[in-house]
Amino acid sequence: MTGLTIGPDHGDPVVDGAGLTIGAGEVVGLLGASGAGKTTLALSLLGHLRPGLRVRSGTVRVGGVDPFGPGGRALRGTVVSFLGQDPAAALNPARRIGAQLAEAAGRDRVTELLAAMDLPTERAFRRRRPWEISGGQAQRVALAIAVAADPRLLILDEPTSGLDRPLARDLRDRLAVHLRERGCAALLITHDTALAEALADRIVHLGPRPTVTGTPPRRAATAETSEAGVSLQVRDLRAGYGRRTVVDGVSFDVAPGGCTALTGPSGVGKSTIARCVAGLTARTGGRITLDGADLAPAAAHRTLAQRRAVQFVGQDSVGALNPRETALRALRRPLHAISPSDVDDRAHELIRRVRLPESAAHRRPGALSGGERQRLNLARALAAVPRVLVCDEITSALDRHTAHAVLDLLAELSERDGLGVLLISHDPETITRAAQRVVRIPDPEEHRT
């Protein structure tokens, strides 16, 4: 690829002027911060872009063929293959293992592929469905499908991110053997420097999109972008309780596929701002628009489409869930309200999408970890297919490792689906990891004379 720029018609590009060459049999590691456009760049090699994005300039060629052109379809699965962040999620849970392998490689190669991955070859195993085998077996089946057609280029998008250490090590070793024996080229996308160093011939760092730190004026906090490419605009927002003003003159934008963070000392109104955006607390002044259309102060006075478009996830992952409902039932209700057909299938899809284990579907909140409960809350919000997700201190009650996992998931969803995120946080590490734009809400005492 040469000079590749990918982005919406208006607004900042997701990938800006990228150039990359992968030689025959070469393994290239692609590193970069969350939101830097790694997955977008990789998917361009398959001729895929998420809705709202297009190739603005530059060229992409795989074996001399434009993946976005008429010959692109013939590349996928044969010349170029893809293994994503959750290998098990690449499998159809309703279809038998043998049938999925046969579809990828032909019935006569099923036994060969199973043996190559040290999987059982007997008929009883081939007749199992993905949820009837272990996680380690599922990831090996997914890898077998990805390499079945002996592709010349294998795209690996965070292939070990959802795995524990032993499973990640096993997948790494199997990839190393396959790439070496087959002479297959690969693009490895990862946050894990050790994984990249173990597999890659060379490593390329993709720079993050610019981070903009808003320096508030004397009275108001402001971080604005050009109106093009902005889905949510907040202008001169004011709110309070009784005679007490809590928020006074705050303005900011949230762009599609981007994260705007609000930070500041406790008590400056960050959560009040979040609740005003979601319509849970009525503002006393100012204007909030979504795609140029005004949002009423109270959610009850917004249209159904607007209520679905702006979803709220708070820090209390326990209180937000009915303790008597299983995860599956908690997802069924919002899904049924949107469309009553195929509710269970779509609920299970959401569970996989937020990388909850399938076993969590039938657990109640008390049987889930804090990170799993927060993932369930994210899944419930995503059921409405929102344009903007308002996240109020969603990692404050989580340990560092779990918090990072939730933030990385949020960044992935934002980049892949064009979801705008408004993140409320007091933690500098959280903001650095997740946000492209930062608005600091000043303490009124700082400006009192």
DSSP string, 349-386: HHHHHTT--GGGGG--GGGS-HHHHHHHHHHHHHTT--
Closest to 407 in 3D by CA, of 430, 439, 377, 380: 430
DSSP at 21: -
Measured between its terminal Cα atoms, the distance across the chain in Å is 57
- Edge-to-edge, what's the strand order for the sheet holding 15-18? 15-18, 2-7, 54-59
pLDDT of residue 273: 93
288 in Cβ contact with 233 (< 8 Å):
yes
Farthest CA pair distance, the chain: 82
Supply φ then ψ for residue 326, to 5 degrees: -70, 165
pLDDT of residue 337: 66
Distances (CA, A) of 30 to 40, 143, 422, 436: 12, 20, 27, 20
- What pTM does this model have? 0.50
List of domains in the chain: 2-205 (3.40.50.300), 212-447 (3.40.50.300)
The whole-angstrom separation of Cα 275 and Cα 272 is 5
114 in Cβ contact with 125 (< 8 Å):
yes
pLDDT of residue 102: 93
Centre a 10 Å sphere on the Cβ of residue 112 and count the other Cβ atoms it contains. Answer: 14
402 in Cβ contact with 358 (< 8 Å):
no
pLDDT of residue 224: 44
State pLDDT tens for residues 116-155: 888 999 999 999 988 888 777 887 898 888 888 888 999 9
pLDDT of residue 230: 61
The whole-angstrom separation of Cα 157 and Cα 42 is 8
Low-confidence ranges of the chain (pLDDT < 50): 208-228, 447-449
